[in-house]
Amino acid sequence: MTGITVGFIGTGAMGEHMCRNIAQRGDNAVIAFDLASEPLDRLAEHGVTRAQSAEDLARKADVVILSLPGGPEVEAIAEGALLGAAREGWTVIDMSTTPVKTTRAVAARFEAKGVRYLDAPVARTQQAAIDGNLSIMVGGDESVLAEFRDVLLCMGPDVTHCGPVGCGQIAKILNNMVVFQNGVALAEALTIGRQAGMDGGHLLEIINKSSGGSFVGMNHGVKAMVPGTFPLKQFPARYALKDLSYALLLAADGGVEAPGAELAGQMLEKAIAMGNGEEYWPTIIKAVEAAVDDGKASD
């Protein structure tokens, strides 16, 4: 859809780049709001108009996109700014990672006011957000997705309809659960290999071209775990734990035991307790390494 005004709320580590790509690659006016002014200043250089408030944005936008830290923030924005501005035929697209129950409850409140609602969380790295190469998983009415697919394609080439409202979140949350469990396995393998006398980078290179190879190994492993580089404001460990907690909630709702996910959660909790909660989530390798150091100290 072209010739509309796209409102974007939440211009953080991922959202800023997503919003910029909508402005640069699309044919629609873009208006944005965030509590931090710096990303809005940068976005202004790309033609994005700054909204005075979330309410101001809601009044002016034909479709509102949310890219917020999690469920509580989505509920707060919905209740505090958006539902009051709701109007027949309006559309809200939540690209945050939000619990499935929360997503369906918020969607129902909007739909009662005649507002279409899609949940469309994203996967891949911050670099993918910068490059416009995200994977976008969408729950909701397929005809509404068709209407706004061109807007979503500005942010990534892989836009997948997952099913009714909530199914985008299910796909995203469980994808991340698998990523974090893979990260624990990788952190353990690298630490064991190094302790046995093998170079970690060489070990990972071999794993990545063998049957143990994965997106996690080729990205989080190569770029973070091997060099020991865990930048701030790049999907920190505390955000990862939040996403994992949503997966565990989903498992509990379905009566499914998930010991692998629980272990990944324990490793994230340990990394956060070590003071690394703001570091990029592959910092969990430090928690594995710390256990080795503790064992040596007790010998």
Question: Cβ contacts of residue 152 below 8 Å, gap of 6+?
Answer: 93, 120, 136, 138, 145, 159
Catalytic, out of 172, 223, 286, 296: 172
35: closest CA among 17, 16, 18, 21?
16
**Range 27-59 burial, b when 16+ CB lie within 10 A, else e:** ebbbbbbbeeeebbeebeeeebbbbeebebbbe
Outline where the chain has alpha helix (H): 15-25, 37-44, 54-60, 71-77, 100-111, 126-131, 142-153, 167-195, 200-208, 215-216, 237-253, 259-271, 284-298
Nearby residues of 97 by Cβ (< 8 Å), 6 or more positions away: 70, 121, 169, 172, 173, 176, 242, 243, 246
Contact 19, 134 (CB under 8 A): no
With residues binned 3-state (H G I as helix, E B as strand, rest as coil), the percentages for the chain, rounded to 5, are: 60, 15, 30
Residue 172: active-site member: yes
Residue 249: how many other CB atoms lie within 10 Å? 16
Please state the separation of Cα 180 from the chain's center in Å. 13
Residues forming the active site? 172
